[in-house]
Amino acid sequence: MTRRTERIGEQIRGELARLLHEEVTDPRVGLVTITRIDVAPDLSHAKVFWSALDAVPHGSRGEKHSDAETAKGLASAAGFLRSQLARALATRRVPELRFVHDDSVDAGAETLRLLEEIRRGKA
């Protein structure tokens, strides 16, 4: 990744975070955090890695949504988000957005939970 694509990726991340918080009204998109963005050198596309803070395991009941539902909501909002980015960015091209679930946050939480279980077992 070049410095230019890194800079554009950070601009996109900041603007997407704002848009998701303030303008996306899809109920499937809850508390979503943008963890990373990988922008193609030609700005043709950008992989947007996300993690949902209010997601529950698939098949659970309640007001919170599964990651699969959140992914559908983000995919549905991609066109709107891209058009809003076109207004906010000072670039000739605006990348096509591809949303990818980042499960590293979930994996980290599970690791901490397992370490806590081990600590309690030895105490």
Q: Tell me the two tokens of residue 26.
A: 């899809």
Q: Tell me the two tokens of residue 117.
A: 């279980």
Q: 118: Cβ–Cβ under 8 A, 6 or more apart, which residues?
A: none
pLDDT the model gives residue 60: 45
What range defines the domain where residue 35 resides? Answer: 3-122
pLDDT in tens, 15-45: 999 999 999 999 999 889 999 999 999 999 9
Query: Is residue 82 a contact partner of residue 97, using CB atoms and an 8 Å limit?
Result: yes
Q: What is the CATH number of the domain that holds 53?
A: 3.30.300.20
pLDDT in tens, 60-74: 445 556 889 999 999
pLDDT in tens, 77-88: 999 999 999 999
Q: How many domains does the chain have?
A: 1
9 SS3 class: helix
